[in-house]
Structure 1
Amino acid sequence: MPALAAQKLLILRTLVETAPDAALRSLELALASAGGQGALATVRAMVEDETADRYVRNTILSPIAPLCQPRAEDLPQFPRRALALLWKALKVEAPRQVAEGAARCNPWDLDNGAPDVFNELCKMAARGLRAAERPEYAAIADMCDADELADYLDLSVIVRNALPRLSEWVSRMSGERAAAARLAYRDACAISDDAGPRMFEMLAAHLPEPWRILRVISAVMDRPNDRYLASSEVKEFGERMLADIEASIEQVRSFDLSGGEAAGREAAQAAQRIANQLTEFEQAVDVAKDGPWGKRIAKFKQAAAQAAETRMNAADKELGLALPLRPISMMGKMGGGKGVPKLEEAPDDALVRRATAALVFVEDLRPCAAQAGYGASRTKVLEKLNQRLDQYIEDSLYVARTAEGGDPQIARAYLEIAARYIAHTRDEKTAEIVRRRAVAAMAA
């Protein structure tokens, strides 16, 4: 393959430099098998250089790097391009320090603490943003609040020192760890009166679940009551978690069953998040029943349980639609009998998908049902579902074996669906037994 023309090469370089990190990783994997010569090799080398450069950039600017990635709309964030422009300016303004920082980015070096040059570069970036003398800094000011970004950079040394201990702070807070968190907060507040909340924002941005920062806030403030926290400078963190709980409740209440297994699992994850957040909130904050947040917490608990139970109770109806029955007789229908499998028509994919979503939702509530107060309801729902499935399977096996009361091939298709369903309501071992029995019935 011939070499790329200079103009095309420039276009490709621009695309590589502006590509999101995830896209760059995918491109690097795709080009891993490219030969050592030709256009693909040139592109691969370009991607590898950009990947290495971003590693250095994200290490040196790590305190603010997550703030320059896409985040939830209500969370503080800066354009991804701002981080790239900041790094571009530093490479021109301080090439020696950048080179030194790049040489010190080895993981084994970082185990002994971050080099001073990392924090020096962050300070230079903050000064550059405020002065706005270079075109890169001016471009950042055009796309976001440059002074605010500089304020976050001022906290880089404090946040960088705290990051190695952050996982310990949110996993199991001890007296010693709480003291360290308080010291970091005090140092932040010494920089400016409003720097404390910014420090928490920066730490939260590094957490897979940002709302867990409330545990660190609680340690710093010695488990405050909700009246105090709701009127403090960090009240936004509590309000944000409560808003997230409310949104998750609505997600459980209204998720679309037609989305199938993925929709059911996503809704169950939302229910688990609700349970975890409610527990976390009550452990981190001394919540009073008549406090500004206590009333909302009580309301959310009730609403979350009601939403989960409503969706669980609907599973039996969806199962009945996916595995339809016909009445044995008019008297049986009038008497409320369940009837026998209706095996004249092929399964309806849309109804099968809806029932799958409902059953997966019930299945995946297992980790949080007891904690959230609807464990007994879930047990009853599963008992009812399994009774229906057991009877349906036995009746369908009879049709598959004897061809009486329906089409054996259609019965086989429904048995496979029933096996998938019982894997959700019971376990995979039971599902395999159903499949083996279906094969044996068809061979009889």
Structure 2
Amino acid sequence: MALAGTSAQSIFAPVRELVEDETANRFVRNNVLAPIVPLCAKREEGAIAFPAPVLSRTWRALRGIAPREAQEAAVKCNPWDLEQGTPPVFDELCKIGAAALRDPENAAFDSVRSLCDPEELAMCLQLAPIVRTCLPRLSEWVSRMSDERAAAARLAYTDACRIREDAGPLLLDILSAHLPDAWRILRVISAVMDRPSDRYLASSEVKALGERFLADIEASIAHVETFDFGGGETAGRDAAQRAQKVQLQIVEFQQSVDLNKDGPWGRRVARFKQTMAKACDLRMDQIDRELEKALPTRPISMLAKKGARGVAKLVAPPDEAMLERARGALAFIADLRPCADKAGYGSSRLKILEKLNARLDPYIEDVLHVARTGDGGDPGLAMQYLDVAASFIAYTRDDKTAEIVRRRAAAAIAA
């Protein structure tokens, strides 16, 4: 893009030519090797994956041993041909690559063999034609499965098993890499195996996939239990996203698998649901203390009871470390909204939000009074804390309420 306006006479013209050649080469490569492209990226532990350089080295080796087919693939990589379906030469190149990887005498693939298990990659390339036929249907399989689509998924699985007895689970693993959420492949598994019981799946050839998703749920719960509020808004939102993901994963297991409360996976899923609810309740209970540290108060009188609400303590500027912790905590509870009710901690969340607002509302009135009159503290500090409180109430209520607080602050300054 930076070189788009470079003319043929510019000293940067050769650089632009190199960039255009590389871009075109990668476009062809990613179309030909589309089934394995997402496998050459970071994936969760236990999933089929290869180091990133495997993709470019495989394509370079293919161009070396099959230049005619590679050239034909480049010609076919135009909008017209791609709209008509996958050109046969794409699958032909994948088969050539699989055979070459299995041939120890083929030196062109030595650099690829040095990075990964050649048989594992060869198997993935051999399955590429089946994967390629599944990819256009995959979004429908995981969103609106029908009897016809289930039959197509079962046929693809059977075709993979004909290549090698244990290739079916590998096919599902490869397909999961092409999904935004890998665990949604459970819907395809459910269709292929006609909504199996957890006892059957836990002892079947696809056991590893289910165990991987269960381990992911466990890791997310551990993260919610231990994440540091000090990481600020980013940490809070990330933890809440993990809680949302766990809720969706649990629902996916419940809908895709016939879970028995005493079954190997049914027991774990039920325990995970309870543990996550407990973890979220515990972390939400800690938020009021974080808010108190970020917006300190002082007792109204020496005789005030312990725990009684005081007035804003305006003796020092806001502590940025405490503010970050409060932002992390508030972002967490705010972003739990989509899943809290369904996951069983919706009522707890609402009660805690009421408690937080009961702290913020009088605090805002206190600092507004100081900002207007100077009575009870430094008006400059009051404005700083008022801005902080307005940003906090955006989490506990909404942006509109926060904007009203800021307008009132502006009016106080103008007065």
**Global fold match (TM > 0.5):** yes
1:273 counterpart = 2:245: yes
Q: For 1:285, which of 237, 244, 257 is the aligned residue?
A: 257
- Who is 1:368 aligned against? 339
1:440 counterpart = 2:411: yes
- CA change 1:65–1:132 in 2 (3 A) is farther
Residues 266-288 of structure 1 show CA distances to partners (whole Å, capped at 9, x for unaligned) of 01100000100000011111110
Where 1:143 maps in the other structure, the secondary structure is coil
Alignment of 1:18-417 (within 5 A): 29-32=1-4, 36-37=8-9, 40-332=12-304, 334-417=305-388
Displacement after TM superposition at 1:44 (Å): 2.8
Displacement after TM superposition at 1:41 (Å): 3.2
Residues 237-276 of structure 1 show CA distances to partners (whole Å, capped at 9, x for unaligned) of 1100100000000111111111111111101100000100
User: How far apart in 2 are the matches of 1:196 and 1:409?
Assistant: 68
Residues 291-330 of structure 1 show CA distances to partners (whole Å, capped at 9, x for unaligned) of 0111111111111001111111111111111000011111
Where 1:64 maps in the other structure, the secondary structure is helix
Unaligned runs of 5+ in 1: 1-28
1:430 counterpart = 2:401: yes
Query: Which segment is superposed worse, 65-74 or 221-230?
Result: 65-74
User: How far apart in 1 are the matches of 2:2 and 2:301?
Assistant: 63
Displacement after TM superposition at 1:110 (Å): 2.2
Query: Which segment is superposed worse, 65-74 or 35-44?
Result: 35-44
Displacement after TM superposition at 1:389 (Å): 0.7
**Paired letter, 2:290:** E
Number of matched residues? 415
- Who is 1:19 aligned against? none
Query: Which segment is superposed worse, 64-73 or 226-235?
Result: 64-73
Q: Which has the higher contact order (CA 8 A, sep 6+)?
A: 2
Where 1:66 maps in the other structure, the secondary structure is helix
TM-score (norm. length: structure 1): 0.91
Conservation of the 8 A alpha-carbon contact between 2:230 and 2:325: yes
User: How far apart in 2 are the matches of 1:35 and 1:405?
Assistant: 68
**Paired letter, 2:400:** K
User: How far apart in 1 are the matches of 2:146 and 2:356?
Assistant: 45
Residues 138-179 of structure 1 show CA distances to partners (whole Å, capped at 9, x for unaligned) of 222222110111111111111100000001111121111111
Where 2:303 maps in the other structure, the secondary structure is helix
User: How far apart in 1 are the matches of 2:235 and 2:2?
Assistant: 30
**Paired letter, 1:235:** K
Displacement after TM superposition at 1:83 (Å): 1.8
Conservation of the 8 A alpha-carbon contact between 1:85 and 1:136: no
- CA change 1:386–1:45 in 2 (3 A) is same
Residues 187-240 of structure 1 show CA distances to partners (whole Å, capped at 9, x for unaligned) of 111111011011111101111111111110111000000000000000011100
Displacement after TM superposition at 1:84 (Å): 1.5
**Paired letter, 1:89:** A
| Identity between Structure 1 and Structure 2 (%) | 60
Conservation of the 8 A alpha-carbon contact between 1:264 and 1:358: yes
User: How far apart in 2 are the matches of 1:309 and 1:35?
Assistant: 62
Unaligned runs of 5+ in 2: none
User: How far apart in 1 are the matches of 2:30 and 2:118?
Assistant: 19
**Paired letter, 1:368:** C
User: How far apart in 2 are the matches of 1:37 and 1:248?
Assistant: 56
- CA change 1:72–1:37 in 2 (3 A) is farther
- CA change 1:324–1:233 in 2 (3 A) is same
- CA change 1:372–1:37 in 2 (3 A) is farther
CA-based RMSD: 1.4
